[in-house]
Amino acid sequence: MMVPELGVDELRLREAGPPDVPHLVLLRNGAREWFFDPNEVTSEGTLAWLDRSKAAGELNWVVEAKGEVIGTISAIPSDRGVEVGRMIVAPAHQGRGVMKRALRMVVEALADHFPGPIFLEVRPDNGKARNLYENVGFTVTRLRMEWHDPAV
């Protein structure tokens, strides 16, 4: 599947490319406590990752509002279905329904292309993200015990 351009209201989702790396680094490093791999990322590492990710058939979008990159979302197809992930909204734009609209658009686009389940993983104590996913219609099917402890 090509990375489709998606849009609603003032939001536009377009394929993330090399010029977006500075935004991707800022967004990711500002939210790393919420991800399974909490390590800081670098520009070089992110550029190489973007290349590998695209080659592997993953779909990476940036979320833009009025031409400004304010978030990211990805879809990772595998033999288990399609995982939606790397969902981040810049702190100044959180709580205004940005990711709710972005996630709905992505889920709709994926449902048209992939027959299997659409799933995601979230830390149990990430209340904001869990509320969002439940609002969009996701339900809990599995608990995984190996999340890192952010206090360690």
Ligand X SMILES: CC(C)(COP(=O)(O)OP(=O)(O)OC[C@H]1O[C@@H](n2cnc3c(N)ncnc32)[C@H](O)[C@@H]1OP(=O)(O)O)[C@@H](O)C(=O)NCCC(=O)NCCS
Tokens representing 19 are: 């010029």
- By CB under 6 A, residue 98 contacts ligand X: yes
Short-list 105, 98, 108, 86, CA closest to 132: 98
Using CB under 6 A as the binding rule, the residues of this chain from 3 to 22 that contact ligand X are: none
Q: List the beta bridge partners of residue 15.
A: 61
Q: Which of 16, 50, 110, 132 binds ligand X (CB under 6 A)?
A: 132
**Helix 21-30 with 43-55: angle, nearest 10 deg:** 100
Q: What are the strands of the beta sheet with 6-8, ordered from one edge? A: 6-8, 11-15, 59-65, 68-78, 81-89, 118-119
Candidate list 49, 83, 94, 138; residue touching ligand X; CB under 6 A: 94
**Shortest Cβ distance from residue 73 to ligand X (Å)?**
8
88 touches ligand X (CB under 6 A): yes
Q: Which two tokens stand for residue 24?
A: 């991707």
Task: With beta carbons less than 8 A apart as the criterion, state whether 111 and 19 touch.
Answer: no
Q: Which is nearer to ligand X, 69 or 89 (CB)?
A: 89
**Binders of ligand X in range 101-120 (CB under 6 A):** none
One of 87, 106, 107, 110 touching ligand X (CB under 6 A) = 87
Q: Could you tell me the smallest distance in angstroms from the CB atom of residue 49 to ligand X?
A: 17
Residue ranges binding ligand X (CB under 6 A)? 31, 34, 87-89, 94-100, 122, 126-129, 131-132, 135
